[in-house]
Amino acid sequence: MRGSVTDTDRATRRVVGALAGTVLLLPLLGAAPSQAGDASAGLQRAFASAAAEYHVPQSVLLGVSYLQSRWDGHAGAPSVTGGYGPMHLTDARTALASAPHHGEGTEDARGDSARAALLPRTQVPATTDIPARLETLPKAAGLTGLSAEELRSDPASNVAGGAALLAAAQKDLGEPLSQDPADWYGAVARFSGADDSATAAAYANDVYDVLRTGEERTTDAGQQIALAAQPGLAPDTAQLAGAGLRKPKAGDTECPKTVSCEWIPAPYEQFGDNDYGNHDLGDRPASQSIKYIVIHDTEGAWEGVLNLVQDPTYVSWNYTLRSTDGHIAQHVKAKDVAWHAGNWYVNAKSIGLEHEGFLANPDAWYTEAMYRSSARLVTYLSAKYGVPLDRQHILGHDNVPGPTTSTVAGMHTDPGPYWDWRHYFELLGHPFKTTSTRLGGLVTIRPDYATNQPRYTGCVTSGEPCASHGSSEVRLYSAPDESSPLIADIGIGRAPTIDVNDLSSRVSTGQQYAVADRDGDWTAIWYLGQKAWFKNPQNDPTAVSAAGLVVTPKEGLDSVPVYGRAYPEAAAYPTGVPAQAVSPLPYKVLKGQSYVVGDKVPGEYYYAVTFTADSHQVVVGQDLYYEIQYGHRVAFVRAADVDVKPSARR
């Protein structure tokens, strides 16, 4: 049993914390690791020290921390839920202010020009009762005698706070402070902060998966941390029965058994002057296929966002994922069509996932628990509905095209540059790899997330620099020189900037493009009808080689139009269903240019403008389209306008 914390204990911890803090000034791994000296082991020693002081197995402490933060400290900045440090100790009173994701800007989340634009202005309700999972830092302060500021800013103190919380949970469960990691399942489940047994169990199972497989990585502060694998570890899962957690309200959810999921339905209700919300009834995949899964962030905290999706006058999405523990709420069945992506064609053929988070704050970081839960859900949905696990089918909201010219500039930009696509696809079991020789003709964007830190502005104040942070995105220039102008997007109608929400001149991890040229450390791709250059040095590449199929204009055509939706020709519409315009965007594929091709699909429109579903129907045309990776967003070209051929060696 641990005694009270002594001044000597605190002094020792501050020395370790100081060593850990000094590494913030050192280069990241690969730059000059030999110069880090003993300081590079500071955080590893902090875990050992806290484990010994609070009689918690070091492996358990490391495993919990990995699931919370992957051992990153984020320089003392809070997560999306006000969580700090490697142990993600939460202090909700310091959490970020929130604005509703779909309640700002000009994007019509429904994206159907057959109906009046839906632009809700609902505000996220204030959270009056702060749940216990968002107040673990004050509790840790009481257990350790350390100040809240120490727990927020000093990594070693933060680790000690996490150890104290685990030890307290173990004692509350009546379990011994054993050195066998198998004896800590209940305490780990409690640490999640979940109030239901399914979420707590899913979280604990993830921690023990980490313990069984082991992990090793360099943190955002340049610290090398290792957790040895324990492949035969079998925790005492029966401890969960005594944890005092409520039974989950799973309902009839569509989730894998490896996650915790509850049913919180979005209302399908009539209101006002024959209006209704907040989704449309459908019969997918029988009536039409599901082709896409769209990744969003909420721009608001869990409780407030759940209130919004239960408002019939607001919009909807299929699932929301909680950051602290990866818990999932389902709101709209996969058979029905949620209003979330701003493009009706994409909505009608997609499932939307909202992740608790904020685009424009690089240090409002996502937890590993949420990344893993999301990856399991997407893997399940991919297998169930035949959605390929690539970046032309697993889209960010920022990859969804504007359906018409007038909508291009107002489309949303989440989850933004700080979503870690490379890590996410590793969790999906489909990592981005080199798939050809250097001259395969295509590139897959794949920078190192931690060390790739392009400058952005506008995270807090317009025009002011954002905090330096790892990013999934690579910037594009009009010539092989960083002093040359950025690539411009004619659809946006303004000069390109490095604002965090300006997608004009950015490519994202996992996206594939046809190579247009090379010049030393620089590679050019075809992008938005232009030759766009990005820095891609051989010794520190930001892209890897690939080969595949591309589209080019048919012989004899100087250019072909680009579309934001694959709608049928007018002759395909039956009586009673107004024909939707097949209107091109302000872009073209020019002669001599190539763009990576995705699915070949028939023109399709889902007619659903009434509350009763008896008039709903899917219109399928004879015209065929190819999806292409045109810019930061995907787009469509008519199959009759293009030739499909293997990428040229370049």
Give alpha helix (H) positions in 37-77: 42-54, 58-69
Domain boundaries along the sequence of the chain = 7-91+135-242, 249-431, 438-546, 552-646
Q: Which of 148, 170, 166, 173 is nearest to 158 (CA)?
A: 148
Please classify residue 518 by burial: count the beta carbons closer than 10 Å to its beta carbon, then call 0-12 exposed, 13-18 middle and 19+ buried. Answer: middle
Instruction: Report which DSSP code applies to 470.
Output: -
Q: Is pLDDT of 65 > 90?
A: yes
**Backbone dihedral angles phi then psi of residue 382, each to the nearest 5 degrees:** -60, -45
Out of 1.10.530, 2.40.128, 1.10.357, 1.20.1630, which CATH number does the structure's domain 7-91+135-242 have? 1.10.530
Name the superfamily (CATH) of residues 249-431. Answer: Peptidoglycan recognition protein-like (3.40.80.10)
The whole-number pLDDT of residue 131 equals 83
Distance CA 288, CA 284 (A): 5
pLDDT band at 94 (very low <50, low <70, confident <90, very high): low
Whether residue 103 has pLDDT greater than 90: no
* Per-residue confidence (pLDDT) for residue 468, from 0 to 100: 87
Residue with tokens 């979503």: 419
- Decide if pLDDT at 5 tops 50: no
Per the DSSP assignment, residues forming a β-bridge with 646 are 549
**What pLDDT is attached to residue 4?**
35
Beta pairing, strands 522-527 & 530-535: antiparallel
> Is the distance from CB of 254 to CB of 334 less than 8 angstroms?
yes
pLDDT at residue 15 tops 70: no
Please count the other Cβ atoms lying within 10 Å of the Cβ belonging to residue 457.
Answer: 17
Residues with Cβ within 8 Å of 377's Cβ and at least 6 positions away in sequence, in order, are 255, 256, 259, 319, 321, 328, 353
> Using an 8 Å Cβ cutoff, are 583 and 567 in contact?
no
Per-residue pLDDT at 81: 82
Asked if omega into 278 is within 30° of 0 (cis), the reply is: yes
With bands split at pLDDT 50, 70 and 90, how would you rate the model's confidence at 20?
very low
Q: Which of 12-21, 239-248, 394-403, 545-554 has the lowest mean pLDDT?
A: 12-21
**Which residues lie below 8 Å from residue 480, measured CB to CB, with a gap of 6+?**
519, 520, 522, 524, 533
pLDDT given for residue 16 in this prediction: 39
pLDDT of residue 465: 93
Same fold, 7-91+135-242 and 249-431: no
Q: What are phi and psi of 166, to 5 degrees?
A: -65, -45
- Tens digit of pLDDT for each residue in 106-147? 788 999 988 888 877 665 555 557 788 889 999 999 999 999
Q: What is the 3-state secondary structure (H, E, C) of 612-645?
A: CHHHCEEEEEEEEEEEEECCCCEEEEEHHHEEEE
How far apart are alpha carbons 531 and 476 in whole angstroms?
Answer: 9
* pLDDT greater than 60 at residue 568: yes
Give the C-alpha separation, 310 to 278, whole Å. Answer: 9
136, containing H or E segment: helix 136-144
Span 172-180, average pLDDT = 97
Residue 114's φ and ψ, nearest 5 degrees, are -75, -10
- Residue 612 sits at φ, ψ, to 5 deg, of -75, 140
Which residue's structure tokens are 């700002």?
104
Strand partners, 227: 215
Segment 272-298 mean pLDDT: 94
Residue 359 predicted with pLDDT over 80: no
In single-letter form, the type of residue at position 184 comes to: W
| Contact call for residues 473 and 83 (beta carbons, < 8 A) | no
Taking residues 591-608, report their average pLDDT.
97
CA atoms within 13 Å, Cβ hemisphere of 505: 26
Computed over its alpha carbons, how large is the radius of gyration of the chain? 25
Residue 155 contacts by C-beta under 8 Å, 6 or more apart in sequence? 17, 20, 21, 42, 43, 46, 73, 85, 86, 221
What would the DSSP string read from start to end of 267-278? P-EEETTTEEES
Q: Is residue 505 a contact partner of residue 475, using CB atoms and an 8 Å limit?
A: yes
